[in-house]
Amino acid sequence: MHFSLVEVVIWLVVLVISIDVHEFSHALAATRLGDPTPRYQGRLTLNPKAHLDPVGTMMMIFAAFAGFGIGWGKPVQVNPYQMRGNPRLDMGIVALAGPTSNVLLAILSGIPIRLGLITNPALAQFILIMVLANIGLAVFNLIPLFPLDGYSVFMAVLEYIQARDLLDFWARLSQWGPGLLLLLLMADWFMPVPILSDLMWPPIKLLSSIILGWS
């Protein structure tokens, strides 16, 4: 897949903004729940310098040029035992804050397109990429595998419904999470069966249709 230099720059700017908002939202949620750790570590800010991870940023650059791949920000360190409620439930709320912020950013970005207010092609392209990138980030991060946000969200749900057996099983499975995630990514990139893309496409399509009015 070939991208022009302008498209590469747009993707990089969009990814930096989206990951910055994502990580800030984790920090804000933890702080509001009573944990001062993100504030002490300087993460309660929208300054991208506080949230960019060197390796994750390199992967973002690669993804922008190659048209596929992933990037990530510096994980926000939190202490669930300094929060006011059940540690596992509070961790689920903190984890959910990141993908939720991406969905909200996609909705806000999509409003001018939905209302037909954008006539400049370059601006329309930027906003469209902002919408689609944030939807993709939200859906990807909600996959319930460690170390993604979806793992903590899923664990919080299991805690809430008191599904102890499944909770214990999923906690033990967490040690294999990074490996399973890598296998899924490799299957998407190099194998004829794109398992991860097939799993992610239905919610991405649904959110895109709602936000952009696509049929």
> Which run of H or of E encompasses 65?
helix 54-66
Nearest Cα neighbor of 125 from 17, 5, 11 is 11
In this structure, are residues 11 and 69 in contact, taking their beta carbons and an 8 Å threshold? no
Query: Quick one: how far is CA 66 from the chain centroid?
Result: 20
Bond before 203 cis per omega within 30 degrees = no
Query: Could you give the residue numbers annotated as active site?
Result: 23
Residue 147: asked if its preceding bond is cis (omega within 30°), the reply is yes
